[in-house]
């Protein structure tokens, strides 16, 4: 499997012919074969590739589902059942697509939290981070619209509740809601346009992902130490090390995905969505899919409609500003003991908000929701700026390879201690 080809020429004449006119092969070789990648990646660095795999899977299954689906309020629910019962492998396409949404968000959340922990959003990767947040925003919009398409009870009422939020905006609120609905309530015009947009946005996402990867390749990847590669000793060629590692990670990911699709395909969903939408009757509990629950909790944490909406959007928009909110000169949480604590409390807060989002805002859940929301915003707006000033970071290694290859200490012992400390 040894490629003896120099970057500018390939042995195969057909490949050379194409490459001379449009250097896609040279590009792939430079960017995904020999590309110098930090040698100390852990498995948290797998998740970007997994997210890309999910985007492709969702588009593929989505296009074939769209061949059988009818975006009309009278026919939509029936067309989904037609897919499940009559279309060859329709049940598989539907379950892969619906659960794929959860897997996509799962991969992206881990990917984001990796960035938060290791300071991947810091200079010079600020724009990379912001492009990533844009991708996330587009994903949320796509998922929201996609969920309305089966036109079940939860589809209809989730759409009603969330689109009604825009009514909170002063002066223009009502006109905007009417405009969005194409009518006086969620109805056929709404469903039709949501279908059109749901088909469109993933291709926009793909284009933004292209920019995301391009930005990444300009700066190079971050790594668990947060210390930029200084020499060849710090990096490995992407192929075969990370192609193979990513394939292994993908296999594990696919096993989990397959377990869900084949053995528990409705576990993550809401049974109410197997009931046709009824504008005359609201279900007892309106709940979004799990990946949107934290925002639902933030929304309901204050009794004021407008402030709830602003906080909900603010939670995502805060992410855009993160590179400037964090004042610390040290990238990786590995060397920031106080930040580590704050980070894990943040993870706890997000889980807390998720659980709160699934419950009715009553009793203990109100308190838990407010505590979670307060910590969420405090983490970004208070802790991040202050920690940079007051935290004393641990000493950074001279380079990625130095703790392992160089120095007087036995290889491994100095760095081995750190992961234990981290707890």
- 88 binds other proteins per the rule CB under 8 A: yes
From the list 14, 22, 67, 171, which residue makes contact with other proteins (rule: CB under 8 A)?
67
Tokens found for residue 119: 């300071």
Q: What DSSP state is assigned to residue 412?
A: T
Whose Cβ is closer to other proteins: residue 240's or residue 271's? 240
From the list 201, 211, 236, 310, which residue makes contact with other proteins (rule: CB under 8 A)?
236
From the list 38, 90, 357, 393, which residue makes contact with other proteins (rule: CB under 8 A)?
90
Stretch that binds other proteins, among 39-47, 63-71, 165-173, 183-191 (CB under 8 A): 63-71
Question: Residues 30, 82, 217, 233: which is the catalytic one?
Answer: 217
Q: How far is the CB of 253 from other proteins (least distance, A)?
A: 14
Whose Cβ is closer to other proteins: residue 26's or residue 178's? 26
Q: What DSSP state is assigned to residue 379?
A: I
Contact indicator for 239, 33 with CB cutoff of 8 Å: yes
How many Å apart are CA 414 and CA 316, to the nearest integer? 39
- 274 binds other proteins per the rule CB under 8 A: no
Does an H or E element contain 270, and which?
none
- 411 binds other proteins per the rule CB under 8 A: no
- 92 binds other proteins per the rule CB under 8 A: yes
Residues 5-44 that bind other proteins (CB under 8 A): 34
- 237 binds other proteins per the rule CB under 8 A: yes
- 89 binds other proteins per the rule CB under 8 A: yes
CB within 8 Å of 137: residues ≥ 6 apart: 316
Residue 235 pairs with which residues in a beta bridge? 38
Environment class of 170 (CB within 10 Å of its CB; exposed 0-12, middle 13-18, buried 19+): exposed
Contact indicator for 182, 314 with CB cutoff of 8 Å: no
97 is catalytic: no
How many Å apart are CA 313 and CA 335, to the nearest integer? 32
Q: How far is the CB of 116 from other proteins (least distance, A)?
A: 32
289 is catalytic: yes
- 93 binds other proteins per the rule CB under 8 A: yes
- Coil, strand, or helix at residue 152? strand
Which one, of 100, 106, 191, lies nearest residue 150 by Cα?
Answer: 191
Stretch that binds other proteins, among 38-46, 185-193, 204-212, 232-240 (CB under 8 A): 232-240
Whose Cβ is closer to other proteins: residue 6's or residue 362's? 6
Tokens found for residue 364: 């203990």
Question: Residues 221, 301, 399, 401: which is the catalytic one?
Answer: 221
Whose Cβ is closer to other proteins: residue 243's or residue 266's? 243
Q: How many residues bind other proteins (CB under 8 A)?
A: 22
From the list 49, 87, 98, 277, which residue makes contact with other proteins (rule: CB under 8 A)?
87
Whose Cβ is closer to other proteins: residue 87's or residue 191's? 87
Q: How far is the CB of 61 from other proteins (least distance, A)?
A: 7
- Coil, strand, or helix at residue 237? strand
- 419 binds other proteins per the rule CB under 8 A: no
Question: Residues 19, 234, 270, 289: which is the catalytic one?
Answer: 289
Is the bond preceding residue 124 a cis peptide, omega within 30 degrees? yes
- 82 binds other proteins per the rule CB under 8 A: yes
Q: How far is the CB of 3 from other proteins (least distance, A)?
A: 7
- 240 binds other proteins per the rule CB under 8 A: yes
246 is catalytic: yes
DSSP per-residue letters across 4-49: ---TT--SSHHHHHHHHHS-HHHHHHHHHTS-EEETT--GGGGHHH
CB within 8 Å of 373: residues ≥ 6 apart: 297, 298, 301, 311, 353
352 is catalytic: no
In three state form, how does the secondary structure of 242-253 look?
HHHHHHHHHHHH
275-298 in b/e burial notation, b at 16+ Cβ within 10 A?
ebbeeeeebeebbbbbbbbbbbbb
- 193 binds other proteins per the rule CB under 8 A: no
221 is catalytic: yes
- 202 binds other proteins per the rule CB under 8 A: no
How many Å apart are CA 314 and CA 235, to the nearest integer? 38
Contact indicator for 179, 163 with CB cutoff of 8 Å: no
From the list 59, 60, 307, 358, which residue makes contact with other proteins (rule: CB under 8 A)?
60
Residue 37 pairs with which residues in a beta bridge? 236
Catalytic residues: 217, 221, 245-246, 289
Question: Under the rule (CB under 8 A), what is the footprint of other proteins?
Answer: 1-4, 34, 60-61, 64, 67-68, 82, 85-90, 92-93, 236-237, 240
């Amino acid at each position: 499997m040894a490629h003896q080809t120099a970057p500018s020429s390939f042995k195969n004449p057909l490949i050379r012919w194409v490459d001379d006119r449009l250097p896609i092969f040279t590009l792939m070789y430079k960017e995904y074969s020999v590309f110098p990648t930090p040698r100390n990646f852990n498995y948290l660095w797998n998740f970007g590739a997994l997210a890309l795999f999910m985007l492709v899977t969702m588009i593929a299954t989505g296009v074939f589902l769209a061949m059988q689906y009818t975006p009309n309020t009278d026919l939509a629910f029936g067309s989904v059942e037609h897919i499940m019962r009559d279309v060859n492998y329709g049940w598989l396409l539907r379950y892969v697509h619906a659960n794929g949404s959860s897997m996509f968000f799962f991969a992206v959340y881990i990917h984001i939290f990796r960035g938060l922990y290791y300071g991947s959003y810091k200079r010079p990767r600020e724009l990379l981070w912001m492009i990533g947040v844009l991708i996330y925003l587009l994903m949320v919009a796509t998922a929201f619209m996609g969920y309305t398409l089966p036109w079940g009870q939860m589809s209809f009422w989730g759409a009603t509740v969330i689109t009604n939020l825009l009514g909170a905006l002063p002066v223009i609120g009502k006109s905007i809601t009417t405009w969005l609905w194409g009518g006086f309530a969620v109805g056929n015009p709404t469903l039709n346009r949501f279908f059109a947009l749901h088909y469109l946005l993933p291709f926009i996402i793909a284009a933004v992902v292209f920019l995301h990867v391009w930005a990444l390749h300009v700066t190079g990847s971050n790594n668990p130490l947060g210390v930029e590669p200084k020499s060849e000793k710090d990096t490995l060629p992407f192929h075969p090390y990370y192609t193979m590692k990513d394939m292994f990670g993908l296999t594990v990911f696919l096993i989990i995905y397959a377990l869900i699709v084949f053995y528990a395909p409705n576990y993550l969903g809401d049974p109410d969505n197997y009931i046709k939408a009824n504008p005359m009757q609201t279900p007892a509990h309106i709940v979004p899919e799990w990946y949107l629950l934290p925002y639902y909790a933030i929304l309901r944490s204050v009794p004021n409609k407008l402030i709830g909406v602003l906080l909900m959007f603010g939670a995502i928009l805060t992410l855009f500003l993160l590179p400037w909110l964090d004042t610390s000169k040290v990238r990786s949480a590995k060397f920031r003991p106080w930040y580590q604590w704050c980070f894990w409390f943040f993870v706890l807060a997000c889980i807390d908000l998720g659980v709160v989002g699934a419950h009715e805002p009553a009793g203990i859940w109100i308190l838990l929701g407010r505590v979670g929301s307060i910590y969420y915003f405090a983490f970004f707006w208070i802790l991040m700026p202050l920690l940079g000033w007051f935290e004393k970071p641990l000493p950074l290694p001279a380079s990625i390879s130095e703790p392992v290859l160089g120095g007087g200490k036995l290889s491994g012992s100095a760095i081995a201690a750190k992961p234990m400390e981290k707890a």
